[in-house]
Amino acid sequence: MNNKNVIFVITALAALLSACGSDDKGVVTQPPVAQDLELNILHINDHHSHLDEESLNFKMDLGAGSEDFSVSRAGFARVAGLMNRLALEKKNTFKIHSGDAVTGDLFYNLSDGKADADAMNSICFDSFTLGNHEFDDKDIGLKKFVDFLDQGNCKAKTQILSANVTFGQSSALYQTNRIQKSHIFERDGQKFAVIGLTIAQKTKNSSQPNADTLFGDEIEVAQKEINLLKAQGINKIILQTHVGYALDKKLAESLTDVDVIIGGDSHTLLGPQSLSKYGLTQEAEYPTQLRNKDGDLVCIAQAWQYSYVVGELNVKFNNAGKVASCGGTPHVLIGDNFVRTTKDAKLVNNTEKQFILNTFKQDQVPFTVVEPDAKTLEILKPYQEQKKKFAQEIIGQATENLCLRRVPGTQRDVSRSTLGDICNKNEHVNAHGGDIQQIIAEAFLEQGKAFFGADISFQNGGGVREDVMLGNVSVEKIYKVLPFKNELVQLNMTGAEIKATLEDAMVGVVEQNNTGSYPYTGGLRWNVDLNKDKGQRLSKVEVRNSNGQYVALDLNKTYKVVTIDFLAGGGDYYTTMKSITGKRREDVGLVYAEAFLKYVQSLAGEKGKKQMNKLSTADYSTQLFIDKLK
């Protein structure tokens, strides 16, 4: 053996002994061997200020034929009740909120997010991802919400994550370092990393971040952060996203080294098909299992919306840090206070209650009876009293269910309705779109006429957030349906610009997969074929004249248009509207929820009860809808 070989062998042996280490007596010791490990992720997303419990209606045969029943469901106190219990019962838990905590209920309008932050601090989430709606009141509104979160009594502050946001110099969060790209944590002595992602184009175009706050490409940013973490020796990577289920699946298949994705934004209900028996539309199984770019297993989970579901994802990692298997339960939160809802029906007795619970179990539907957390209820009490005082007034009645739907057809956004299959599979809704969106567009037109003689109104489908169920309509419901702080704006637009705006909206729907862009108008209707080329998707565009008759839109004529400032500023890809400036634009100064409130108050009805009826089909904006062929 020559000298070089001797030196090489000695060096190799020294390195090996150094890696093994030794105890105080010089005995060589082996490094600890990584063990198999189970991580239990408890997660919610898109609770949207829905802090109160609601009711779940279902049908069941207890032996005397099918009957209608109701039971309490959801409420943030139930979220806290189950999460806090599971955190004690399960080992290696990690609690995640995947964004859109705010906007959607009067709790937010009345407290600027403090009620949500206080409720969240009764759980002490390990991490929270910024959703698009966290930017609805610009960066200063987000900063206020973050400060509320930081005022809690949790042992450690909730990690707030978004790897693809860069706050500009005008932002209240510029160089504060409060929002991090990722977070490293340990369970059973092993390190994990969780990376936050915020949906980029939707946030920039459909919310109101500061102009110099920017959002990077989700896939590129995620891979870059994964690579940095891998270089630090982290081999178990979780993406905590607010980008939607479709992009979550694309992320899973496009990235290397990703193991788990906990998502939000698309309000996707994952779970067993048995949910459909109770009127709930599930999109896929919980969890969804795909393979990443390396061919390794990736587990994807999401927990629907509005505090309805707590996801419990159980992930088993092998000693190489790869996912060996995953499973779990999307707990649909309910109480046990079952009541019959038919007229003069008997109360549910204990035997019948047990029969109902046994039937749920037999059907393998993940309804989970949860007692609301007492601490959270106490926290929410003053906010509830404030809300009740403001919201309790009944201002009208819906004569039938007024369904929510962003885009007509059967391919896009067909599980968002809180009324389940009644609306999600409604033939008229599939053909013409959301009933409530159409009524609101008509409401804006009426207010626009009162202010300046408007001809046409515009409202984007995503700006309307809830169905209106048959029955009483309260002030609270109005603000739930229209929860943002948008204001009405007058635009003077040519027919050509109006047509271009409609085509802009279709670009948002087709090219950007942004269902919220889909347009609803008062006084305007059309046929749409999404298979046509860009700029050619709308045909037979007609405007309603003063006699109530529809005539062809005159491309050279100037029309008075009422819309919301969000769209007038180019939000949701309404780029043509953004060019209408100067004397062609005037602020009306009326908040859009108040405009809807005034409209309802102006409706006719017997004995002072204002009646909200569906519009005639002839007045729906979408007269014919052909979706893009898959």
Q: What pLDDT, on the 0 to 100 scale, is given for residue 415?
A: 87
Query: What DSSP assignment string belongs to 38-106?
Result: EEEEEEE---TT--S-EEEEEEEESSSSEEEEEEEE--HHHHHHHHHHHHHHSSSEEEEE-S--SSSSH
CB 406 within 8 Å of CB 486: no
Which residue in this structure is represented by tokens 């948002």? 508
- At 458, which helix (H) or strand (E)? strand 456-460
Q: What are 228's two structure tokens?
A: 């940095």
Which residue in the block uniquely carries the two structure tokens 């339960």? 329
Are 186 and 194 within 8 A, CB to CB?
no
User: Does the global pTM surpass 0.85?
Assistant: no
The residue written with tokens 């496009």 in the block is 254
Beta strands (DSSP E) in 98-181 are: 127-129, 159-161, 165-166, 179-180
Please list, residue by residue across 7-30, b when 16 or more beta carbons sit within 10 angstroms of its beta carbon and e when fewer do: eeeeeeeeeeeeeeeeeeeeeeee
pLDDT at 24: 42
Taking the chain (630 residues) in runs of 10, the rounded mean pLDDT of each run is: 41 40 44 76 96 94 92 97 98 98 89 97 98 94 98 96 98 97 97 98 87 97 98 97 97 98 95 94 96 98 97 97 98 96 82 97 98 98 94 91 97 89 95 98 95 95 96 93 90 98 97 95 98 96 96 98 96 96 86 90 78 96 92
**CB-CB neighbours of 425 under 10 Å:** 15
Beta strand pairing call for 127-129 and 93-97: parallel
pLDDT reported for residue 247: 97
Spatial distance between the Cα atoms of 73 and 308, rounded to a whole number of angstroms: 7
Q: For residues 518, 524, 526 and 528, what is the CA-based torsion angle, rounded to 10 degrees?
A: -10
Structure tokens at 532: 């046509």
Beta bridge mates, 473: 396
Beta bridge partners of 333: 368
- Is residue 520 within 8 A of residue 460, CB to CB? The reply is yes
Tell me how far apart the alpha carbons of residues 460 and 518 are, in angstroms, rounded to a whole number: 6
Please report the pLDDT score of residue 604 as a whole number. Answer: 81
In this structure, what token pair is assigned to residue 321? 């840090």
Tell me how far apart the alpha carbons of residues 73 and 90 are, in angstroms, rounded to a whole number. 24
Judging by beta carbons within 10 Å of its beta carbon (0-12, 13-18, 19+), is residue 363 exposed, middle or buried? middle
Instruction: Give the total residue count for the chain.
Output: 630
CA distances from 223 to 13, 45, 252, 347 (A): 37, 23, 11, 57
Residue 264 tokens read as: 């939000």
Which stretch of DSSP H or E encloses residue 176?
none
Closest-CA residue to 187 (of 269, 262, 253, 93): 93
- The Cα 186–Cα 442 span in angstroms is 54
Q: What share of the chain is helix, strand, coil (3-state, %, to 5)?
A: 35, 25, 40
